[in-house]
Amino acid sequence: MATWRWTAPVRAAGLLVLLAAPGGPGAVARADEFDTKDLSLRLPAALTRFASYGDVAGAGGASAGSKWSSGVNPASSAWLPPPGDLRLSFTPQYSNLYFSEGTVLHVTSEALTWDLGRAGTIQPALAQVHSNRETTRQGLDFRLDMDYGQVQWAKKVADAWAFGANFAKAKTQFDLDRTAVSDSTGETYGFRFGALHRLADKVLGGAVVEYAFSKDRTTLFDFLGLGVGNTHIHDTTHQVLLRPGLSFEYRKDSCLYADYQYGVFRNDTGRLRVHRFPMGVDHSVCKWLFVRGGVMLDTRGHASWTTGVGVYPTKRLAVDVAYQADMFAELEPELGRSNTLTISVSLSF
């Protein structure tokens, strides 16, 4: 459930930063290649890296070929039934994204997975995102709130295939600076389709295709009193992501994961392409203890390292904790480097 889209509100922020910078647009330094792309493209690109489940986050975010329902592939939710008598599981989660410039994002989410037998498996989920109000490197205060919901369905066919689909909607409210600088709202609609296939005895291959679009409305207030009036911006951002991946189960429930992510993000400001290579390991120390590690590489030379642990005292209780170092490189020009802590609890009934 890791798909967030924040677009035109951040585009307004980028525009205001250029206007407010000393010397005007020509004085804004280009620190790296990401600075050549508008933030309205970089922010949704950065957040496609996000993994809300602790086991996925600890293994570098690689999960397109995972057999576990926590993976990014909607087909994965039907590969294994929940262990309880009702074949029902509930998973609350919390993630803390702390950026070196002081911005903190608090992400809480709740997911329900229910195996309906021949009708397949459904997984409704909700998420809430809230940030503090903190100053960016460009000197403007930043605050963000978002509500997110999704419904996912999957079905396993025979023993070798599973297919799934996901529909998601998010609503975002964005505020810039303590004075009336801008007011932005946006709605995002996303569609994700996935397939999972047993390629060999211990090897699964998966593929995920996703399309999302965001319709955003931003009002830039004449907060300096220049007499130019308010400016209204309407824009639509489109994005397409392709995520193939493999998993190799080298011993019972211990797996190696390797994915490839290709994404295109486009709106009126331009186009951004990303190529990423998440890889990780999920190793069973004993029946109730797992350790994880991973890395996400991209073609810009950026590496994000991850680690985690899973504790499973009973078949009906699971606790996963993960840490990610500098996972959101696309946001460094404004918010700095990031540290992410994720905690997931799963209860089966």
pLDDT of residue 237: 87
pLDDT of residue 222: 54
pLDDT of residue 179: 53
Q: In the numeric block, which tokens belong to residue 117? A: 């037998």
Residue 339: in which H helix or E strand, if any? strand 338-348
Nearest-CA neighbor of 41 among 13, 10, 3?
10
pLDDT of residue 187: 82
pLDDT of residue 10: 35
Write down the number of H helices and E strands in the chain.
4, 16
b/e code 193-214 from CB counts within 10 Å (16+ = b): bbbbbbeeeeebbbbbebebbb
Nearest-CA neighbor of 239 among 24, 74, 40?
40
pLDDT of residue 182: 58
Catalogue the long-range contacts made by 338-341 (C-beta closer than 8 Å, 24 or more residues apart): 338/97, 338/98, 338/99, 338/100, 339/97, 339/98, 340/57, 340/95, 340/96, 340/97, 340/98, 341/95, 341/96, 341/98
Q: Is residue 257 within 8 Å of 279, Cβ to Cβ?
A: yes
Q: Is residue 6 within 8 Å of 146, Cβ to Cβ?
A: yes
3-state secondary structure of 273: strand
Architecture of the structural domain at 8-348: Beta Barrel (2.40)
pTM: 0.84
Q: Name residue 212's amino acid.
A: A
pLDDT of residue 199: 97
Q: How far is CA 133 from the centre of its chain?
A: 21
Q: Token match 């890395």: residue?
A: 295
Q: Is residue 217 within 8 Å of 171, Cβ to Cβ?
A: no
Residues 6+ apart with CB under 8 A from 26: none
3-state secondary structure of 149: strand
Catalogue the long-range contacts made by 290-298 (C-beta closer than 8 Å, 24 or more residues apart): 290/55, 290/253, 290/254, 292/55, 292/58, 292/59, 292/322, 293/58, 293/59, 293/60, 294/58, 294/59, 294/60, 294/61, 294/62, 294/257, 295/60, 296/49, 296/60, 296/61, 296/62, 296/327, 298/274, 298/329
Chunked into runs of 10 residues, the chain (349 residues) has average pLDDT values of 32 32 32 70 89 95 96 95 86 96 94 93 94 79 85 94 95 63 74 97 97 78 57 80 98 97 92 96 96 96 96 94 96 92 95
Give start and end residues of each alpha helix (H) in 65-116. none
Domain boundaries, the chain: 8-348
